Structure 1
Amino acid sequence: MRSIRKLAESLWGAVQIATQLALGPVLHRWRTRWGATDAEAHRPLPGDDLVSRPDWDYTHAITIDAPRAAVWPWLVQLGQARGGFYSYEGLENLVGCGIHNVEEIRPELQQLHEGDIVRLHRTGYGPAVVELEPRRALVLGGDPDAHGSRAVWSFHLVELPDGRTRLIERGRNRVGRGLLATLGFGPYLLDPVGFVMSRKMLRTIKRLAETVGRAAGSSRRP
């Protein structure tokens, strides 16, 4: 049953990616501001200085009916050979990523430090943890590559007055020289494909944090 559900999810993810690729620039602005208010999209956040003048960027956001403490453990687990990326696992594995999403908080995955690599692929490729402020910010990035391309990928938790949390995901990209840099760091493929995968990730983190939070609340009741 689990395998059938994953297959159905992957097919749905593929349909969404095909749609976003077909519409291309028409939905670019909507994709790069999905769920975010104007204030959030323009708000300076930790990690922005790593790519101070991006060729393109995005800010996604979602409201989670749980406190920051319930959301943070899911972010700490991100990564290949860790908790996965809570997205379309089947699509990620089509390109050999070797992702296996975890839907519970595992103590052995809660250790993450600045300088650690958050792997995107089974080859070990992935950004480093540049900044980590527990329950507030996780910033991933690296030095410019040989062609001058650079990217920063960051997650931010903002506490709301009613005990809920805003989870903000931001990406900032500098495109280097050459066709491969344009394809790998430019918006033409990364924007539509990344958007579909990121939206699924954010929605899954929301579901997991809210579900675990409710379960914990129930277990504390007399």
Structure 2
Amino acid sequence: MIRGWARNWGATSAEVTRTYPADNYLAGPVERLTRAVTVRAPAPVAYRWLCQTAVAPYSYDWIDHWGRRSPRILTPGAEKLAAGQQLMVFTLVDIEPGHQFSGRSFPAAERLFGPLAGTYAIEPLDDQNCRLICRLVLGSGRFGATLLAWGDFVMMRRQLLNLKGLAERDARTLAGFGAMTELTP
């Protein structure tokens, strides 16, 4: 059983109990982990940065990206996600542009981590703020699931905080120019 911060970091009780698409991708007993941050940026800006995970991991680059720095500017076209596309350790299954994308682990990732599924979502709070939420679903009953949960906590925390910082930076920059529609998917 995974407990404490490794299970849920930054998530409200409503976010933890909510059902996400990834909750339905694995059969049998599972562990559900929820991580979340508040982003002081409009949802379209945060979602566009979330789509950047198609380009780089945005966690600890020296571990996850072979020492190369994740881009600090938006990559054109990265927001055009498609079912079947591989993203991090997932093959995308469900995409709701501007709101969420979900996937299930592909075979090479499953050999390393076991079966996984995940949903990344942006939930608007108001016109200028949103929540960035990740639900990770792991096949339970395996010792590796507990290790993965703690390792993921460290890496995902860094990823969400990096994406939050970049979205907030761009929101401050774009707000003065009225250019928010440029980032809308």
Say yes or no: TM over 0.5: yes
1:193 is paired with a residue whose SS is: helix
Alignment partner, residue 213 of structure 1:
171
More strand by share: 2
Kindly tell me the number of residue pairs found equivalent between the two proteins. 175
Q: Residues 1-222 of structure 1 correspond to what in structure 2 (within 5 A)?
A: 28-51=3-26, 53-79=28-54, 82=55, 84-93=56-65, 97=66, 100-118=69-87, 120=88, 126-142=89-105, 149-161=114-126, 163-175=128-140, 182-183=143-144, 186-187=145-146, 189-220=147-178
Give, in angstroms, the shift of residue 161 of structure 1.
Answer: 3.2
Structure-2 separation of matches of 1:72 and 1:109: 11
Contact kept? 1:46, 1:137, Cα under 8 Å: no
What percentage of aligned pairs have identical amino acids?
Answer: 28
The residue identity in structure 2 corresponding to 1:90 is: W
Report if aligned partners of 1:150, 1:175 keep a CA contact under 8 Å in 2.
no
Compare CA radii of gyration and give the structure with the larger one: 1
- CA distance, structure 1, for counterparts of residue 50 and residue 27 of structure 2: 24
What SS does structure 2 have at the residue aligned with 1:51?
A: coil
TM-score normalised by L of structure 2? 0.83
Instruction: Report the Cα distance in structure 1 between the residues aligned to 2:126 and 2:78, rounded to whole angstroms.
Output: 30
Any idea what the Cα deviations from partners look like across 1:153-187, whole Å, max 9, x if unmatched?
A: 110111113531011111001158xxxx743xx11
Contact 1:130 1:142 in 2 (8 A): no
Separation of aligned partners in 1, 2:159 and 2:102:
16
RMSD: 2.5
Structure with greater helix percent: 1
Superposition TM-score, scaled by structure 1 size:
0.70
- TM-fit CA distance, 1:30: 2.2
Q: Distance in 1 between matches of 2:10 and 2:17?
A: 13
Q: Deviation per CA, 1:50-89, whole angstroms, max 9, x where unpaired?
A: 125543221011111111100111122214xx2x111111
Q: Which of 1 and 2 has higher RCO (CA within 8 Å, sep 6+)?
A: 2
- Aligned-partner SS, 2:155: helix
Ranges in structure 1 where 5+ consecutive residues have no aligned partner: 1-24, 121-125
CA gap 1:130/1:28 in 2 versus in 1, 3 angstroms:
same
Indicate the SS of the match to 1:109. Answer: coil
Q: Is the 8 A contact 2:22 2:137 kept in 1?
A: no
| Structure 2: unaligned runs, 5 residues or longer | 180-185
